[in-house]
Amino acid sequence: MNKSWQYYETNNELTEQISNKFNINKLLAQILINKGITEEKEIEIFLNPKRDNFYDPFLMPDMEKAINRIIKAIQSKEKILIYGDYDVDGITSTTVLKKFLEERGANPEYHIPNRLKEGYGLNKQAIEEIAKNGTQLMITVDCGISAVEETEFAKSLGIETIITDHHEPGDILPNAYAIIDAKIKANKYPFNQLAGVGVVFKVIQAISIKLGLEEKEYLKYLDLVCLGTISDIVPLVDENRVIAKLGLKLVNVTKNLGLKTLLILSGYKIADSNTISFGIAPRINACGRMGFAEQALQLLLSNENEKVIELARKLNEYNKERQEKEKEIFEEAIKQIDKEEETNPAIILAGNGWHHGVTGIVSSKITEIYFKPSILIGFEGEEGKGSGRSIPGIDLHEAILKCNSKLEKFGGHAMAIGLSIERRNFESFKKELNEYLRKKAINQIKQIIMIDAIANLKDISLKTVEELKLLEPFGEVNRMPIFCIKNLRIESIRALTEGKHLKINLRDDNILISAIGFNMGEKSTEYKIGDKVDVVGSLEINEYNGMKSIQLNLKDIMKSLIQ
């Protein structure tokens, strides 16, 4: 794989000013400059966001109209239904809105579509059942902006719909009572990258202001809002950063019994962005992927200890089942990748019985390993459903638009797509898409590693690495800083986990640092003890037997020019 190391420009004078002004180390100051955060107020909000850094919710389109309608429904005891989604963002959105409305005296019901049977978003069959139950007001969360026909259908059945969403709108907006989505053209809200649960948070903030409630009535939900925001991989900047930074403080002392139980089961001692991304989110998402999203919702809604423990164990079981299916599909997929497949611009694979709730995860792994777009399709009989992932520089959705003649259905965006196809059309679709992508010269695209600074082991202390935690929570856009350390001597090198990962010890004079390279096991045969190498990676603190040490999480390695 071609990897290109690129460095941010340095500004020593500005680095010195920021370092002195905010009493932070120069590495941290340099990273802030790299992120374009140089104004005093910006730096203060980034490092220490406060609750008064939230924007006015009434700047959101249709907010006043929507909350007046919700308050009227509460006061009139109308039947309210929350229509959500089956991922973490949708589950937390539904939980937050339901709990908040219940505390205002409402008794809202909910509908979470089954991923395997209903798919994403509103569907007419569900709306028909919702209407039969006497629903007068339907509030969508994390979905609805593309549901033009379904919203009209709901209206014909006497249901008024308020849409709260964060996805891109189409050319035609649904004929809803109100639409709260900062991505529509009429938007005046200063930040349009909120997660679905972030939009719900603005709704409950606006209702609280309108009803004259104390701030704590909506701020107490920041633990769940933070969970949904980090899990949905939205950019962790601006208001999302305020949500995530403040929310993580609440996650660590959460009063939500379900979340607290999941934290214990996940085994993480401290709740940070890592805990949510790798400990909590996969367990909740596994429910949706396996078709049991409602159990994840029940976990976050319940206050019964025994029920919560039972549900948390089920989530663990679903996650293990998801992991097993993922491993099984991954192994089968890797076996299919022969020399011809490796030379194609995209890796397009299919298998019988591949669970379509898991193919997207496996596709992500294959794209990461081979650095090219991949699509995995699971067939049940003659019908196939699949998911694809792309690389920077290749708009996979655009490619599918150009090559969709053989597809039954498709959707997505530049980096991720979903599709349906009949078995008889698979090979011709594969050929057509590869021919289209061949013109894009994918082999010429390099994976770029942006390096924040060149570091010296002598200048890196535990205190320096601890201070970098001020940049947390890490996630989309606000990634972990990457450093380059040059001319280190290999003291030991070996592969771990059946050759999958790389473990290496590096020395600079009398300073030793340990490094781990995930999915870099093949490098163990390319280097030997005594080689001088340059490495790039993120700095972490490893704690073992009560002792703390600095560890490098490797992103790449190459031989030094001077041996």
Q: Tell me how far apart the alpha carbons of residues 58 and 61 are, in angstroms, rounded to a whole number.
A: 8
Q: Are 226 and 239 spatial neighbours (Cβ–Cβ below 8 Å)?
A: no
Q: Which of 245, 263, 265 is nearest to 254 (CA)?
A: 263
For residue 372, count other CB atoms closer than 10 A to its CB. Answer: 21
Pair (361, 465) in one structural domain: no
pLDDT for 170 equals 81
Q: Which amino acid is located at 267 in the chain? A: G
Q: Which of 84-88, 206-210, 265-269, 457-461 has the lowest mean pLDDT?
A: 265-269
Choose one of 392, 421, 444: the last residue of a domain: 444
pLDDT for position 538:
95
Amino acid at 549: S
CATH number at residue 432: 3.10.310.30
CA distances in angstroms from 518 to 110, 271, 503, 524, 552, listed in the order given: 41, 22, 9, 12, 11
Do 115 and 207 lie in a common domain?
yes
Same domain, 465 and 420: no
Q: Return the structure tokens found at 243.
A: 């949500």
Average pLDDT over residues 68-82: 97
Same domain, 106 and 118: yes
Q: Is residue 437 part of a domain?
A: yes
Regarding whether 90 and 148 lie in a shared domain, the answer is: yes
* Domain coverage including residue 390: 337-444
Helix (H, G, I), strand (E, B), or coil: what is residue 277? Answer: helix
Claim to verify: residue 414 and residue 495 sit in the same structural domain: no
From CA 281, how far away is CA 277, in angstroms rounded? 5
- In degrees, rounded to 5, the angle at the alpha carbon of residue 227 between the alpha carbons of residues 65 and 465 is 130
Structure tokens given for 410:
């498709």
- Select from 184, 297, 277, 280 the least CA-distant residue to 232: 277
- 207 and 96 part of one domain: yes
| pTM for the model | 0.87
Query: DSSP label at 51?
Result: G
Alpha-carbon distance of 273 to 477, in angstroms, equals 13
The three-class DSSP label of residue 563 is coil
Q: What pLDDT, on the 0 to 100 scale, is given for residue 563?
A: 66
Percent pLDDT > 90 in the chain is 75
- Cβ 453 vs Cβ 30: under 8 Å: yes
| 265 CB-contact burial (10 Å; exposed 0-12 / middle 13-18 / buried 19+) | middle
Q: Which pLDDT score, from 0 to 100, does residue 300 have?
A: 97
- Is 373 a domain residue? yes
Neighbours of 421 (CB within 10 A): 25
Inform me whether the pLDDT recorded for 191 exceeds 90. yes
> The sheet that has 383-389: what strands, in order across it?
347-352, 374-380, 383-389, 416-422, 407-412
pLDDT in tens, 457-505: 988 999 999 999 999 998 888 989 999 999 999 999 999 988 889 999 9
How large is the average pLDDT for residues 422-435? 95
Beta strands 109-111 and 137-141, pairing class: unpaired
Asked if residue 37 belongs to a domain, the reply is no
E-strand spans in 324-446?
Answer: 347-352, 374-380, 383-389, 407-412, 416-422
Query: Residue 43 in contact with residue 15, Cβ under 8 Å?
Result: no
Residue 355 CB neighbour total at 10 angstroms:
20
pLDDT higher than 80, residue 562:
no
Q: What percent of the chain has pLDDT over 70?
A: 99
**Do 344 and 393 have their domain in common?**
yes
Number of structural domains found in the chain:
4
Residue at which a domain ends, from 248, 269, 302: 248
For residue 39, is it within any domain? no
What pLDDT score was predicted for residue 445?
A: 84
Q: Are 534 and 421 members of one domain? A: no
**Mean pLDDT of the region 145-154:** 94
Domain boundary among 387, 414, 444: 444
Cα separation, 421 vs 325, whole angstroms: 21
pLDDT of 207: 98
Q: Is residue 13 a part of any domain in this protein? A: no
123/146 same-domain check = yes
Which residues are within 8 A (CB) of 39 and not within 5 positions of it... i.e. 6 or more apart? none
| Partners of 483 in the β-ladder | 453, 537
Q: For residue 54, is pLDDT > 70?
A: yes
Residue 331 lies in a domain: no
What are the phi and psi torsion angles at 121 (to 5°)? 80, -170
- Domain assignment of residue 99, yes or no: yes
Cα 377 to Cα 34: distance, rounded to the nearest angstrom:
40
H or E element, residue 511: strand 511-517
> What is the Cα Rg of the chain in Å?
25
Task: Please write the tens of the pLDDT for every residue from 495-551.
Answer: 998 888 999 999 998 899 999 998 889 899 999 999 999 999 999 998 888 788 999
Quick: pLDDT tens for 346-369. 999 999 999 888 898 899 999 988
35 part of a folded domain: no
Angstrom distances, CA of residue 201 to CA of 61, 89, 100, 225, 355: 15, 12, 10, 7, 33
CATH value at residue 178: 3.90.1640.30
Q: So what's the pLDDT on residue 118?
A: 81
Rounded to an integer, the average pLDDT of 292-297 is 93
In this structure, the answer to whether residues 300 and 195 fall within a common structural domain is no
CATH of the domain at 520: 2.40.50.460
My answer on whether 93 and 231 are in the same domain is: yes
* Model confidence pLDDT, tens digit, residues 380-409: 999 999 999 999 889 998 999 899 899 988
Q: Is 190 exposed, middle or buried (0-12, 13-18, 19+ CB in 10 A)?
A: exposed
Looking at every residue in the chain, the average pLDDT score rounds to 92
